[in-house]
Chain A
Amino acid sequence: MEAIWSWFEWLYEAHGVNLSIFYDSLDRDRFFFGLLTTIRLSLICIVASVVIGVVGAWLQTSRFKWTSRLVQGYIQFFRNTPPLVQLYFFFFAIGGVLPKVPDASGHMVPPIGNFTWAAISLSFFAGAFNVEIFRAGIEAVPKSTSEAAEALGYTRLQSYIYIILPLAFRVCLPSLNNNLVNLVKTTTLAYVIAVPELLYVSSQIWSDQFNVREMMNVLLFTYVGLVAVLVFMMHRWEKTLKIPGYGR
């Protein structure tokens, strides 16, 4: 390990390529922490946005007109406004008017931290897309299939659980993939409210080390790598769910 680290140090001294995240233990720790924060934020948002999507799609089929209208309003608002402004709105506008609470040592602090705000804001943003995705999936299941279930005596709930949802989920997966990839890319926005994720820690590193060029390339490849891992896992999952002879 040490040999690799010192090789990067040599690279800097000999060629001026300053990859301090490899040879400098402080920068290495910072970068690793940023990477972890990005992954943690992504995972939390993925889970929360999928939950929002499923619940929202279910609410949309509700018989109460106002529930589905409210969900529609939520979807359209979050889809048609910039995620960055949404984040500012949550963090500065809503977070700014919330009363402060004392923390363990008695200091007055905001009740919701910046990481949590980023998670809330991004989950709502991605969730708005997920509602549409899940609903489209449910609607893509032909009516005749649920009719066949009905003719076999399935109740509404039974045919939902055993027939419609398993099929709908498979139909949704490609669009869900896309949206989740987008979500991971969008976590960079948390930079603006000083959440120490990849972009934020990198900016700290390059202002200390003056190695913008190197850090930029590292960042790009790290994100493309992260997305590639996500895409790879989702494709694997898609494959295991694939029905033989069904689709192409």
Chain B
Amino acid sequence: MSGARKHRSVGGTGNLAVLKPFSLHNAAPSAWRLQPGHGYMLFAALVLFVLVGEVQAAPARPSIIATMWKWTPFLLQGFAFNILISFVSIIIGTMAGAALGLGQISVSRPIRAVSWTVTQFFRNAPWLVLLFYCIFLIPFEFELFGVTIPFPAWIKAVIGLSLPVMANFSEIVRGAVQSIPDGQWEAAESLAYTRRQTLWLIVLPQCIKRMLPPWMNLYAVLTMATPLVSIVGVGEGMTTTGEILAAENRSDLLIPFYMYLLCLFFIYCYPIARWTISLERKFAVKI
């Protein structure tokens, strides 16, 4: 009926004749034995670094902990920008990626080919290069109906991060649609659903569940890519850390402050990772 259904056999895992299914996807959740203990370990590592630094610190200077405390509001402010950038990028990237993903399963061959090419291109280009691309090649303002719309660097950076998110989400959509068994399409066809109806009423609703864990994973990856914008001069947590270290100009602060920033990211991303895995497990049983 459609080209999209024909290449479904390429992806996905089916039952094997020889053994029980060898699906890495099913095996992966059990491989992740996440425990709250990891958080404590991290905290312990931070304390250890601070203490080691503390011993080395000259007595005349304020202690490392006091310095870290003093700069905490400033650092958190910077980190908040990371979160903000990640939010805007995931929204733009997801919307664009959904359209592109649907393009990849379109009945029209040219649309499919173009969507596939765009997806592959942006998926395989390094995030940092895409970021540079947007920063340098998008004009800093637009002229639209005689109104000048400014395009500040941070918006360009957000677009730069959205591009790979778009391409990755496009693949998630395609993978999820193709993972729905052929029988669903055939059953719907035999009930006289049109292709569009089948897609929107039967297939996509089933896909949401399958797309959620990889989408959350994508969000975590995106969040961990947000410090890249500091390279192209957009302020965020990494920039803030650099500014603090420059202001203090103390080498004993280097390790504690970089650790501090790493921990902030860990505290934010680690629960997402755990949640993703618990969802994967939950859905794996039902699918």
A adjacent to B, CB under 8 Å: yes
In the bound complex, what is the Cα–Cα distance between A248 and B127 (angstroms)? 32
Interface: B28 (CB within 8 A): yes
Chain A residue total in the interface (Cβ 8 A): 58
In the bound complex, what is the Cα–Cα distance between A31 and B9 (angstroms)? 42
How far is the CB of B64 from the nearest CB of chain A, in Å?
13
The chain A residue sitting closest to B40, CB to CB, is A73
CB within 8 Å of A: which B146-163 residues: none
Contact (Cβ within 8 A) B254 A96:
yes
Produce 1/0 per residue, B1-45, CB < 8 A to A: 000000001000110111110111011101111110110011000
CB within 8 Å of B: which A118-147 residues: 132, 135-137, 139-142, 144-145
A85-B262, A192-B231 known; A80+B270 contact, CB < 8 A: yes
Chain B residues near A175: list those with CB within 8 A.
24
A80-B265, A83-B224 known; A142+B255 contact, CB < 8 A: no
Chain A residues near B24: list those with CB within 8 A.
136-137, 140, 171-172, 174-175
The chain B residue sitting closest to A57, CB to CB, is B31
In the bound complex, what is the Cα–Cα distance between A185 and B255 (angstroms)? 27
In the bound complex, what is the Cα–Cα distance between A188 and B131 (angstroms)? 11
How far is the CB of B40 from the nearest CB of chain A, in Å?
10
Contact (Cβ within 8 A) B254 A93:
yes
Chain B residues near A94: list those with CB within 8 A.
255
Interface centre among B13, B124, B259 (most CB of A within 10 A): B124
* Segment at the B interface, from A9-17, A45-53, A222-230: A222-230
Produce 1/0 per residue, A206-248, CB < 8 A to B: 0000001100100110011001100100000000000001111
CB within 8 Å of A: which B132-153 residues: 132-133, 136-137
A191-B231, A212-B136, A216-B137 known; A185+B254 contact, CB < 8 A: no
In the bound complex, what is the Cα–Cα distance between A113 and B20 (angstroms)? 49
Contact (Cβ within 8 A) A185 B126:
yes
Contact (Cβ within 8 A) A188 B18:
no
Interface: B251 (CB within 8 A): yes
Contact (Cβ within 8 A) A139 B258:
no
Interface: B125 (CB within 8 A): yes
Produce 1/0 per residue, B193-230, CB < 8 A to A: 00000000000000000000000000010011111101
Interface: A89 (CB within 8 A): yes
Contact (Cβ within 8 A) B266 A92:
no
How far is the CB of A246 from the nearest CB of chain B, in Å?
6
Chain A residues near B223: list those with CB within 8 A.
82
Interface centre among A72, A79, A81, A231 (most CB of B within 10 A): A81
Contact (Cβ within 8 A) B262 A199:
no
In the bound complex, what is the Cα–Cα distance between A216 and B37 (angstroms)? 45
A80-B273, A85-B238, A245-B17 known; A139+B31 contact, CB < 8 A: yes
Secondary structure dominating the interface of B? helix
Contact (Cβ within 8 A) A248 B9:
yes
Q: How many A-B residue pairs have CB under 8 A?
A: 160
Chain A residues near B88: list those with CB within 8 A.
none
How far is the CB of B217 from the nearest CB of chain A, in Å?
10
Contact (Cβ within 8 A) A88 B259:
no
Interface: A204 (CB within 8 A): no
Interface: A77 (CB within 8 A): yes
Chain A residues near B84: list those with CB within 8 A.
none
Contact (Cβ within 8 A) A135 B19:
no
Interface: B107 (CB within 8 A): no
Contact (Cβ within 8 A) B262 A89:
yes
In the bound complex, what is the Cα–Cα distance between A126 and B127 (angstroms)? 16
Interface centre among A89, A93, A94, A216 (most CB of B within 10 A): A93
The chain A residue sitting closest to B245, CB to CB, is A92
Chain B residues near A84: list those with CB within 8 A.
225, 227-228, 230-231, 238
Chain A residues near B238: list those with CB within 8 A.
82, 84-85, 88
A85-B262, A89-B262, A140-B22 known; A185+B34 contact, CB < 8 A: no
A199-B129, A246-B18 known; A140+B27 contact, CB < 8 A: yes
Contact (Cβ within 8 A) A73 B129:
no
Interface: A76 (CB within 8 A): yes
Contact (Cβ within 8 A) B227 A85:
yes
Chain B residues near A246: list those with CB within 8 A.
16, 18
Contact (Cβ within 8 A) A77 B266:
yes
Binding site for B on A (CB under 8 A): 69, 72-73, 76-77, 79-86, 88-89, 92-94, 96-97, 132, 135-137, 139-142, 144-145, 171-172, 174-175, 181, 185-189, 191-192, 199, 203, 212-213, 216, 219-220, 223-224, 227-228, 231, 245-248
Show 16 residue pairs from A and B whose CB-CB distance is below 8 angstroms, ordered by the A residue: A69-B41, A76-B34, A76-B38, A79-B273, A82-B262, A82-B265, A84-B227, A85-B227, A85-B258, A93-B258, A96-B251, A145-B19, A185-B124, A187-B126, A191-B128, A247-B16
When A and B form their complex, which 5 residue pairs have the shortest distance between CB atoms, in order from nearest?
Answer: A185-B126, A82-B224, A140-B27, A136-B31, A89-B258
